[in-house]
Amino acid sequence: MHGDQTTRTKRCSWCGEHADYQAYHDEEWGVPLTEEQRLFEFLTLEGAQAGLSWLTILRKREGYRRVFEGFDRERLARWGPAQLAEAQASTGIVRNRLKIKAVVTNARATIELAERGPGLSQFLWGFVDGAPRQNQWHRHEDIPAETPLSRQLSRELKQRGFTFVGPTICYAFMQAVGMVNDHLVGCFRHEPCARLGQRFTLPERDPS
């Protein structure tokens, strides 16, 4: 995109002028997502963000994919002390011991969720009745950091053994994977994401 076109493009204010933010905002944020491995990736990345900026996590995303074996839940579930120590020594991720341990804990919880019920995708999308919620925000400051629904999601994830899934993390996750469309009405991505939401159909079960 040429510079003069970029200047005219109206985006949500949170992505500012950072190219990494803008690419993520333009291509991924708010697009309904059902693939279980990618949902697990976003759940991990949102948990890693706690106390940090999303830009920090975005710039380490490839490091997270490399260190956490492409977010393969079966492999992560088998991790022991040696793999956890190796991950904590890596410069490619945020080296927080509790956050690293949470990835393994959540991988195991995701597997158990699939064994006992519909799987991660069906479980998550059930909170919005299988259809993206379409919001109509005009100002960034009006968008909540958490909602009653994200608090409910947080409680139920914790009951199933997940960690680093507080209400704010859960709402940021819901925004990222398109469970809610929180692009501002004036943002050029609001209408395309709304159209995706209108056409959205939740698969019966994602085998991934």
Residue 25 marked in a binding site: yes
Total of domains in the chain: 1
Residue 207 lies in a domain: no
Least confident of 5-9, 25-29, 178-182: 5-9
Give the pLDDT confidence score for residue 62 in this predicted structure: 96
Give the pLDDT confidence score for residue 3 in this predicted structure: 40
Q: pLDDT (tens digit, 9 = 90+) per residue, 75-122?
A: 999 999 999 999 999 999 999 999 999 999 999 999 999 998 889 999
Does the annotation mark 14 as catalytic? no
d(CA 67, CA 62): 9
The pLDDT of residue 207 is above 50: no
Q: pLDDT (tens digit, 9 = 90+) per residue, 139-161?
A: 999 999 999 999 999 999 999 99
**Burial of 47 from C-beta contacts in 10 A (0-12 / 13-18 / 19+):** buried
Give the pLDDT confidence score for residue 21 in this predicted structure: 93
Q: pLDDT (tens digit, 9 = 90+) per residue, 117-127?
A: 889 999 999 99
Residue 94 lies in a domain: yes
For residue 193, the domain's CATH number is 1.10.340.30
**Burial of 73 from C-beta contacts in 10 A (0-12 / 13-18 / 19+):** buried
What mean pLDDT is predicted for residues 59-88?
97
Residue 15 marked in a binding site: no
Give the pLDDT confidence score for residue 117 in this predicted structure: 83
Q: For tokens 């158990």, what's the residue?
A: 112
Beta bridge partners of 181: 134
Give the domain range for residue 96: 13-199
Residue 55 lies in a domain: yes
Residue 3 lies in a domain: no
Residue 187 marked in a binding site: yes
Q: 8 falls in which pLDDT band (50, 70, 90)? A: low
Residues 6+ apart with CB under 8 A from 5: none
Residue 113 lies in a domain: yes
Residue 6 lies in a domain: no
Does the annotation mark 54 as catalytic? yes
Residue 183 marked in a binding site: yes
What mean pLDDT is predicted for residues 19-46?
96
Residue 37 lies in a domain: yes
Residue in 21, 29, 54, 125 annotated catalytic: 54
What is this structure's pTM?
0.93
